[in-house]
Structure 1
Amino acid sequence: MIGLDKIREAAEEIGGVIHRTPVLTSTRLNERTGNEVFLKGEHLQKTGSFKIRGASNKILKAVRTGTSHVVAASSGNHGQAVAYIAGKSGVQATIVVPEDASPVKISAIEAYGGRVVRCGLTSAERIPEAFRIAEETGGLFVPPYDDPDIIAGQGTAGMEIISQVPGCEVVFVPVGGGGLAAGIVCAVKQLNPDIIVIGVEPETADDTKQSLESGIRVAIGPTRTIADGLRTSIPGELTFPILQNHLDRLIMVSDEEIAEACRLLFQATKQVVEPSGAVAFAGLLSGRSGITGKKTAAVLSGGNVSAEGFSEILKA
C-alpha cells in the first residue's frame, strides 16, 4: 500500500496545478439508486480527467532533477495530462497512442504540444514502444498507472472525497490499469478502514476480474468497449496487489449500462461525462453491489468525449 504520507506529499506537490474538483449531488439520482449519492467531478479536472494528478506528481519531481523529455503510453487521457504538464514545465513530451485512439483525445494531446506516435491496439504493445523511445532519446517514461508517484497522485482524489463527504460509507471507483482505484483505496482505507471501496470494470475488458479470480495477473487480448480509457490488457504489477488485498469487491458493467449512466448523468445533472468516466456510476446504478441507504461517492473520472460521440450516446 502507498503510505498516506506519500499521498499527502503528492497533494502538496500538485496543489498549484490541479483543481480541487467539486462533489455534485442530485435528488433524482438518490431516488434512482436508493443511496445518498455524491459524484466526485474529475471530469471537470484540468485536461478533462483525474490523470493530471498522477502525471503532475511524477513530472514536477523529475523536472527538478533535470528531466527535459517525457514519454508516455496512453489511450488518451494520460497522454493529455502528460503533454499538458510537460508543456507547463517547459519540457518535451512524446505520447504513444493506440491505432484506434479517440480523435478528440489525439487533438488535445497535440494542442498541448505533445508529439503523437501510434502503435498497436493494446497497452502491452504501446508501453514497450514508449520504453524504447524513452531509452533512445534519454527521456523519462511516465507510466499510465504502474508507478508509486502516479498512484500517490491519483490517491489525492480519495483524500478530497473524505474531506468533502463527511460520513462517507462507500466509494465506487473505475478500474482499468488500476492507478486511480489503487490510489483511492490507499487513501480511503488509511483514513477510514470502515469505508467500503468498490471497483467497477467493463465486462468486455475484464483483466482485473480474471486476475482476481486467478490470484495472479492475467493478460487478455485486445478489448472492445465504449469505455476506451479502460481497455487495459493486464493489471499493473504495483496496482494489482493493492486491489487484491484492499479492494472490497469488483463488479462488471456492460457497454449498454455505461451508456445509460452517461445519459442519466446528463439528464439529471447536466454533466457531460465520457463513457470511461461514467463506469463507476454505472456500477452504482446497476444495483449489483447490493448497497442501499448509504452515503455513497462515485468518481466521475473523465469528460473527454467529442460532441459527435456524445450525441450518439444520447440518441441510443
Structure 2
Amino acid sequence: MCVYHGDYLTSDKINEAYKKLSQFVHQTPVMTSETTNRIVGKKVYFKMENQQKTGAFKIRGALYKMMQLPEKLRRQGVITASAGNHAQGVAYAAKKANVKATIYMPKHTPLNKVNATKAYGADVVLTGENFDEAFQASLKELDSGKVYIHPFDDYDVMAGQGTVAIELLHEINELDTIIVPVGGGGLISGIAVAAKNIKPTIKIIGVQSNLASPIYRSFRNIQLHVPSAISTIAEGIAVQNPGKKTLPIIENYVDDIITVTDGEIACSILYMLERNKTLVEGAGAAAIAALFRYHQHIRSKQCGVIVSGGNIDIQQMTTIQEIAKKHYVQTG
C-alpha cells in the first residue's frame, strides 16, 4: 500500500482545494433559528454539511485527495477505513475518477452507510467492533500497492475539509467563533488553519464525545486512557487515538476542546428534527449539543456551528429518543 500525501497544511493549500472543489461539491446552506438564538443568547449560524453530497463534509477531503494523486497511483486503486461518512466520500470520489476502492468498515456501521458506500461501486469489508479495529485490519493490505486515503491524518484531506470554513466566512464574515465536531481531527485542523488565516481573532472550539475523547484529553494534558471498546451514538467521531498530524495543528490553532454526552447529543438530534425540520446524525449534532450545554461559558455574539453530517440510520431513532428521555429525567 502506498501512503501519498502533501507534507504540510497551509492556508494556500486550503485555498487551492477550495478552487478545485467548488464545481464538484455543494456550497451548503447556512441556517439560522430565532428559537436557538433566544435559548443561547447569541446569533447562531448552522453550516449544514448534512446537506452535502453523500450527506457529510467528508466528500471534500476525499475528492481533493483523489485530485492530488498522479494517474499512476490512481491505477493502483485506493483503500481506506471508515465509520461511514469518509467511506462514502472515498467511494464517490473513486467512482468519479474511475478508480477501484476498497473500504474497511466496522461490523456495526449503520446499514444505510454501508449500502450507500457499496452503491458507489466500492468493495466493502466489514470487520471489527469500531473504527480503530477496522483501521488496523485495513493496514494488513500495506503491501498491496494501493494508495491509502486516511480519513483524517492526511494534509490533503485536511485541506479539503478546511474549505467548509472558507465558505462559511465568505458568507458570514462577522463570526467570532466556530464550534466543530472532532473525531480524529481532520475537519477542525482544516477549519482552524483556514479560518485563522481569514480572521486571526476568531475562536475555534472543538467538541468530542465524552465516550471517545483522545484529543480532548491530550489538549488538556489529561492522562490518555485508550478504552478497549467505544459505544456512542456519535460513531462518526468515535476514535481511540489522536491523529499524529492533526494533533500538533490542533494544539497550535484551536482555542479549546470540550466534550458532550450521548444524552446531550440525542436531545440535539431531536431538537434539530422537531424545531428546524432537519435530520442530523450523532456526530453532526455534537457541536449543537456543545452550544446548548456551554452557551453561558462561550463568549460569542456571532457563532458558527458545523453540522457535519446527516447519515443517520432511521431505525436508530427509537434508541435516540430513549437516550434523550433518560437525559431529560436525569437533568430535570
TM (normalized to structure 1)? 0.94
Q: Which runs of 5+ in 1 are unaligned?
A: none
Out of 194, 197, 205, which is 1:187 matched to? 194
- Deviation sequence 1:228-248 (CA, Å, 0-9, x none): 101101010010111112211
Q: What is the deviation of 1:190?
A: 1.4
Residues in 1 aligned to 2:53 and 2:196: alpha-carbon distance in whole angstroms: 26
Matches within 5 A, 1:49-60: 49-60=56-67
Q: Which runs of 5+ in 2 are unaligned?
A: 1-7, 326-332
Residues in 2 aligned to 1:150 and 1:144: alpha-carbon distance in whole angstroms: 7
Residues in 2 aligned to 1:67 and 1:9: alpha-carbon distance in whole angstroms: 20
Query: Is 2:156 the partner of 1:156?
Result: no
State the match for 2:265 in structure 1: 258
Q: How large is the Cα RMSD of the aligned pairs? A: 1.8
Q: 1:238 to 1:66 in 2, by over 3 A?
A: closer
Q: What is the deviation of 1:280?
A: 0.7
State the match for 1:92 in structure 2: 100
Q: The residue matched to 1:259 in structure 2 has which SS?
A: helix
Out of 122, 134, 155, which is 1:126 matched to? 134
Matches within 5 A, 1:213-228: 213-214=220-221, 219-228=226-235
What amino acid does structure 1 have at the position aligned with 2:109? A
State the match for 2:116 in structure 1: 108
- Deviation sequence 1:41-91 (CA, Å, 0-9, x none): 000000000000000010122154441211010011000110111011111
Q: What is the deviation of 1:102?
A: 1.4
Identity of matched residues, % = 37
Q: What is the deviation of 1:292?
A: 5.1
Query: Is 2:292 the partner of 1:281?
Result: no
State the match for 1:70 in structure 2: 78
Of residues 252-261 and 211-220 in structure 1, the stretch that sits farther from structure 2 once superposed is 211-220
Matches within 5 A, 1:20-59: 20-59=27-66
What amino acid does structure 2 have at the position aligned with 1:39? F
- Deviation sequence 1:259-315 (CA, Å, 0-9, x none): 111111112211101111010111011126612561000000000012222354346
Residues in 2 aligned to 1:206 and 1:240: alpha-carbon distance in whole angstroms: 13
What amino acid does structure 1 have at the position aligned with 2:33? S
What amino acid does structure 1 have at the position aligned with 2:47? K
Q: What is the deviation of 1:123?
A: 3.8
What amino acid does structure 2 have at the position aligned with 1:172? I
How many residue pairs end up in the alignment?
A: 315
8 Å contact kept, 1:43–1:303: yes
State the match for 1:197 in structure 2: 204
Q: The residue matched to 2:220 in structure 1 has which SS?
A: helix
Residues in 1 aligned to 2:19 and 2:108: alpha-carbon distance in whole angstroms: 36
Q: What is the deviation of 1:134?
A: 4.9
State the match for 1:301 in structure 2: 308
